[in-house]
Amino acid sequence: MGRAQPAVVKMPIETITSSRNPRVKNLVKLRERRQRDKQGLFLIEGYRELSRALEKGIRIDEVYYSPDWFLGENEDALLRRAEAAGAHLFHLAGSAFAKCAYRERPDGLLGVAPQWRLDLADLVLPETPLVLVAEAIEKPGNLGTLLRAADAAGVDAVLLCDPVTDLFNPNVVRASTGVLFSVPVVVAETAAVIAFLRSRGIRTAATTPDTDTRYTDADLRGPLAIVMGSEQYGLSREWLDRADGKVRIPMAGRADSLNVAMATVITLFEAVRQRGGTAKPPGRGQTAK
Amino acid sequence: MGRAQPAVVKMPIETITSSRNPRVKNLVKLRERRQRDKQGLFLIEGYRELSRALEKGIRIDEVYYSPDWFLGENEDALLRRAEAAGAHLFHLAGSAFAKCAYRERPDGLLGVAPQWRLDLADLVLPETPLVLVAEAIEKPGNLGTLLRAADAAGVDAVLLCDPVTDLFNPNVVRASTGVLFSVPVVVAETAAVIAFLRSRGIRTAATTPDTDTRYTDADLRGPLAIVMGSEQYGLSREWLDRADGKVRIPMAGRADSLNVAMATVITLFEAVRQRGGTAKPPGRGQTAK
């Protein structure tokens, strides 16, 4: 706290000291899905997340910064990068930033960016894609972690069916540690996703406890989509009836001892192993914009 | 809220209405490690966690309950089971419970139980054990999730080296979803753990990015300990120098895209696969008491 304002950043266009400032109020509003949808915007809070968004060429409209809250040394460089990429910078007094920060431990950086929408038709997939399908994930934290798992496994696309959680929820952005900006994510209805995968010749493997086929005994090579159900209810009847195959993860402990993100990462990494175990280079199918 | 007090439970011995009651105050104190260590006690909050503790025969000294906060239908039966197992029940007014509940969404049940300590010498391991070693894990949530992963994989014991986080932290209990009560966990120094594993003929596989051996190419059969490092720093020099082998998880995304719990579950389930892929029955080596 109390560090001087970075000297290298251009003279701030505006310094906001009041937490009743309409811009500050709007940052608070953007925590609500309705407001995000209405304004077509979302929040990117934190050094790491903003830095990854910039790396991936995500457009950022505004960055609110408050040196009182800075934790590191490189905030200044980040702000200059954001400004060079077209973002408007707003300097906030510490108290005003406290009002609009969403995190428990704010680091003095909060960006506003336009949402994007990727459709199934936009997806450019390689010849032998590995796709992750997730149905009706409930918790933003789980959805974010699931995106991290997909990123680590080098998945070509994540298809979210009938999502309960908004992809642009601040907790998804946070739990994904910015992976949201690199993995192509499509939100679509189950029927459309099934039709799309069929049309592209991509087999579907539904994960469920109700099968004898262990995930390690199934053939997870070739064009493949691994399909994960929701935390509470697992996969819907529609997916279970229409998937090309079913696999289960044998567990020693209690049935609920793996959460959905862990079950996802286990299955994806077994697929990676069967496919040759080589991590794909980062430049995959399609960027997330 | 406002549901009537369960009728079947015996007349409460004591009804606490004041949040300044010394018992309520002590429940708040037990959130601090120093107090937990001093009193040799810890908190078990929530229906699921208490229920699993009772299932596993964990001794529970006291259960504080507040029907105003109950979420389900079975609290009454749980309280009777706890009482039959020797716990003292205390009825709390809703406002007093709000004071001592640790969770964001309390469910009206909070237990106090004596801590236990399991030593390396106490461990009874099968002929071909699979052990998880975790060094200096920092975040209670990660430690809890790591225990869940160990449980799901049927690990015979978890050895925590030089832990930064207290095993009896309320967030470990919570994130472990009660697995803490079933998996044998030993806290010990690195040197003692290495000596113990050598004396039992258990090979060690250290996970690190600094090796060319992929975890899927290593032989993870036979008596084996998988060794995971801390979130920030990975494994210590001591472990890296003294482990029998090193393995890495190839990742497509950013180096930090897997958290320690996910890296653990991937490695453990690959070991399970190589060892025949069969989940072990729940009755393992040693109970956690």
B34 vs B278 pLDDT, higher one:
B34
pLDDT computed for residue A281 by the predictor? 43
Burial (CB count within 10 angstroms: exposed 0-12, middle 13-18, buried 19+), residue B275: middle
Chain A interface mutation, best of B213, B248, B254, highest count of A Cβ atoms under 10 Å: B254
Locate the chain A residue with the closest alpha carbon to B250. A279
* Amino acid letter, residue B212: D
Q: What's chain A's average pLDDT?
A: 89
Mean pLDDT along residues A34-49: 96
The whole-angstrom separation of Cα A111 and Cα A134 is 28
pLDDT computed for residue A254 by the predictor? 67
pLDDT computed for residue B11 by the predictor? 53
Chain A interface mutation, best of B158, B179, B266, highest count of A Cβ atoms under 10 Å: B266
Three-state secondary structure string covering chain B: CCCCCCCCCCCCCCEECCCCCHHHHHHHHCCCHHHHHHHCEEEEECHHHHHHHHHCCCCCCEEEECHHHCCCCCHHHHHHHHHHCCCEEEEECHHHHHHHCCCCCCCCEEEEEECCCCCHHHCCCCCCCEEEEEECCCCHHHHHHHHHHHHHHCCCEEEEECCCCCCCCHHHHHHCCCHHHCCCEEEECHHHHHHHHHHCCCEEEEECCCCCCECCCCCCCCCEEEEECECCCECCHHHHHHCCEEEECCCCCCCCCCCHHHHHHHHHHHHHHHCCCCCCCCCCCCCCC
What's the pLDDT tens digit per position in B156-211?
A: 999 999 888 899 999 999 999 888 999 999 999 999 999 999 999 999 999 999 89
In this complex, do A216 and B273 lie within 8 Å of one another by their Cβ atoms? yes
- Read off the DSSP letter of residue A65: E
A277 vs B250, B259, B262: nearest CB: B250
The whole-angstrom separation of Cα A216 and Cα A196 is 26
The whole-angstrom separation of Cα A43 and Cα A41 is 7
pLDDT band of B82, cuts 50, 70, 90: very high
pLDDT computed for residue A255 by the predictor? 59
pLDDT over 90 at A226, yes or no: yes
B249 vs A contacts (CB less than 8 Å): 269
In this complex, do A265 and B266 lie within 8 Å of one another by their Cβ atoms? yes
- In angstroms, the separation between the Cα of residue A85 and the nearest Cα of chain B is 23
Question: Count of alpha carbons within 13 Å of A117, Cβ hemisphere only?
Answer: 7
B149 vs A151, A262, A273: nearest CB: A262
Mean pLDDT along residues B18-45: 95
Other CB atoms within 10 A of residue B194 CB = 20
pLDDT over 80 at A2, yes or no: no
Locate the chain A residue with the closest alpha carbon to B52. A254
Chain B interface mutation, best of A142, A148, A232, A266, highest count of B Cβ atoms under 10 Å: A266
What's the pLDDT tens digit per position in A64-113?
A: 999 999 998 899 999 999 999 999 999 999 999 999 998 888 999 999 99
In this complex, do B152 and A252 lie within 8 Å of one another by their Cβ atoms? yes
Locate the chain B residue with the closest alpha carbon to A254. B152
Q: Which are the contacts of A140, defined by CB distance < 8 A and separation ≥ 6?
A: A165, A166, A169, A170, A171, A172, A175
In this complex, do B177 and A256 lie within 8 Å of one another by their Cβ atoms? yes
pLDDT computed for residue A244 by the predictor? 96
In this complex, do B252 and A152 lie within 8 Å of one another by their Cβ atoms? yes
Which phi and psi (to 5°) does residue A254 adopt? Answer: -70, 155
The whole-angstrom separation of Cα A141 and Cα A218 is 29
B266 vs A151, A269, A284: nearest CB: A269
pLDDT computed for residue B109 by the predictor? 97
The whole-angstrom separation of Cα B149 and Cα A280 is 26
Mean pLDDT along residues B139-146: 92
What H or E segment, with its residue span, contains residue A131? Answer: strand A130-135
In this complex, do B279 and A252 lie within 8 Å of one another by their Cβ atoms? yes
For chain B, list the domains and their CATH numbers: 15-114 (3.30.1330.30), 120-274 (3.40.1280.10)
In this complex, do B252 and A216 lie within 8 Å of one another by their Cβ atoms? no
In this complex, do B152 and A251 lie within 8 Å of one another by their Cβ atoms? yes
What's the pLDDT tens digit per position in A179-209?
A: 899 999 999 999 999 999 999 999 999 999 8
Instruction: Write the CA distances from A216 to A127, A273, B77, B146, B276, integer angstroms.
Output: 23, 10, 40, 22, 10
* ipTM of the complex model: 0.84
A10 vs B109 pLDDT, higher one:
B109
What's the pLDDT tens digit per position in B234-281?
A: 899 999 999 999 999 988 876 567 889 999 999 999 999 999 875 454
Tokens of A276: 């040759």
Lowest mean pLDDT of A190-199, B1-10, B20-29, B186-195, name the range: B1-10
Mean pLDDT along residues A129-158: 94
In this complex, do B151 and A252 lie within 8 Å of one another by their Cβ atoms? yes
In this complex, do B279 and A250 lie within 8 Å of one another by their Cβ atoms? yes
In this complex, do A277 and B153 lie within 8 Å of one another by their Cβ atoms? no
- Read off the DSSP letter of residue A259: -
pLDDT band of B120, cuts 50, 70, 90: very high
pLDDT computed for residue B10 by the predictor? 55
The whole-angstrom separation of Cα B227 and Cα A9 is 45
Q: Residues B54, B55, B56, CA angle at the centre, nearest 5°?
A: 90
The pTM of the full predicted model, rounded to 2 decimals, is 0.86
The whole-angstrom separation of Cα B112 and Cα B93 is 18
pLDDT computed for residue B9 by the predictor? 54
Mean pLDDT along residues B86-109: 93
- Token match 């490092």: residue? B229
Chain B interface mutation, best of A251, A269, A272, highest count of B Cβ atoms under 10 Å: A269
pLDDT computed for residue B3 by the predictor? 47
B7 vs B260 pLDDT, higher one:
B260
Mean pLDDT along residues A253-272: 87
pLDDT band of B19, cuts 50, 70, 90: confident
Strands B88-92 and B15-16: parallel
